[in-house]
Amino acid sequence: MKQKDTTHFGYKEVPTAEKARHVADVFHSVAGKYDLMNDLMSLGIHRFWKLFTVSNSGVRRGAKVLDIAGGTGDLTRKFAKMVGETGHVVLADINGSMLNVGRDRLTDDGIVANIDYVQANAEALPFPDNSFDCITIAFGLRNVTDKDKALASMFRVLKPGGQLMVLEFSKPADWLGGIYDTYSFKVLPQLGKLFTGDAESYRYLAESIRMHPDQETLKQMMIDVGFERCDYHNMSAGIVALHRGYKF
């Protein structure tokens, strides 16, 4: 299928070939204070969302895990302890600034023995077929230009019997819509301006959430590239959803 000439970057239309650069600029800007902003934006609830994801991964000692868009290493930190010395975790991120922050933080905490760091595009993962027991991508899929291509790439490198877990902002319950919109488009950019000096990047993040597929659409996208037993679990009234699918 021929790739479209343009795609969305938040609410803007940009040339498809340029979206990755625009996204990179956003995360270069916010990398240093990414964790602080996550705490402020979610009132710390993002830690629960991530803990729920890891707790439902089924990852055991000796497993091999790929953490895509792993950023500052929240999930990688937890997985490295779960897989132990005989296991292995790869923290992958397309953005060098985010990857460096994650590497520095985990290294400073002495978590080094079973982790590799790879700068990689989710649409073309540089790993052999059937490499990983579990793949996670937390709050990263919405920034990918071609989500179908990325999901197919994840399917390829997942081992038979392995699980993909996509943790992402989604469509909240109707009763929450007005409050959520006000917070996203009024409060969030101001928090970004106050704590990072960058309101525009956080305005983009709010817009990117609205442009991301809803729960049922993403579930079908996973099925379409080959994943089976696909389901999702809404958290915080659907503000976030954890999608899961298996390769058999």
What residues form the annotated binding site? 72, 93, 121-122
- Tokens 């819509």, located at residue: 177
Model pLDDT, residue 62: 98
> Residue 27: its pLDDT value, please?
66
Residue with tokens 């704590």: 195
pLDDT in tens, 131-177: 999 999 999 999 899 999 999 999 999 999 999 999 999 999 999 98
| Residue type at position 205 | L
Which positions make up the binding site for S-adenosyl-L-methionine? 72, 93, 121-122
Q: Which helix (H) or strand (E) holds 35?
A: helix 34-42
Contact 23, 36 (CB under 8 A): no
Q: For residue range 20-67, what is the model confidence (pLDDT) as tens digits?
A: 776 666 666 666 666 776 777 787 899 999 999 999 999 999 999 999
Architecture label for domain 6-246: 3-Layer(aba) Sandwich (3.40)
Alpha carbon distance 87, 94 (integer Å): 23
